[in-house]
Amino acid sequence: MRANFWQKYLIIICSLWETIVASCKIWFVAVSDKKNARHKIDLLLRHWVKKMLKIVKLTFTLHDPYNLQYEPNKVYIIMSNHCGHYDIPLILAALPGSIRMITKKELFRVPLWGNAMQAAEFVSIDRENRRQAILDLQNAKKKMLSGIRIWVAPEGTRTRTGELQDFKKGGFMLALKTEATIIPVTICGSGKVLPPKTWDFNIGLHADIYIQKPIDTTQYTIKDIDKLMQLVRDSIKEKLPHS
């Protein structure tokens, strides 16, 4: 159901309020309880995303035929298609563990929200500065080895058509350098909540999240990166409605 003017206004106000509150709490936890910060921030992030989904009445079903289990002393990268603003809340709500995303460096400059992302150990990689990008990758690897699972949208940006876009190599380079296990994920339905270039919210929708077969990147080298990218792309595309 398409939201009317007042519903749209309420969605925006409530979403902003919940984001501000969550940002303040995350920042406070990060500076006041460093020993237990990650666990507490995980709980705060999950509380925030559940609120964001509830505001637009977006429900989801997780399809996990492989019974995803994280093994200790292994690093993981979650890769999914990116069809809407609500992909992030869906991933954080549906999958277990400390999940953080690789995001644009510009978002870290947003007052309060940027501070909260930094406190929550989100990762930024500077694609324009090679030297800084190398340091960023090393930082990402360190966080992954400490137990964080990185979420990457290999398309780089949200699709405007619903079609799967070309993949960027950055996330795959990180996966190969860290010998990570890639978990391909297909998200269906999130793009309809807030179609691109509009403020036309649709409420009461349902999304499906499909966990695909994990891929062990230790079987691949840099020379195989195109093959690896195609394998992940095919896995994600398999469950898309138009595939």
| Residue 123: per-residue pLDDT | 85
In the chain, where are the structural domains located? 5-237
Architecture of the 5-237 domain: 3-Layer(aba) Sandwich (3.40)
Residues 6 or more apart in contact with residue 12 via CB below 8 angstroms: 199
pLDDT tens, position by position, 158-196: 777 677 888 888 889 889 988 999 999 999 999 899 987
pLDDT tens, position by position, 102-146: 887 777 888 888 889 989 999 887 767 777 777 777 788 888 888
CB–CB of 123/101 below 8 Å? yes
Quote the CA–CA distance of 45 and 100 in Å, as a whole number.
10
On average, the pLDDT of the chain sits at 89
Nearest to 87 by CA among 2, 8, 194, 170: 194
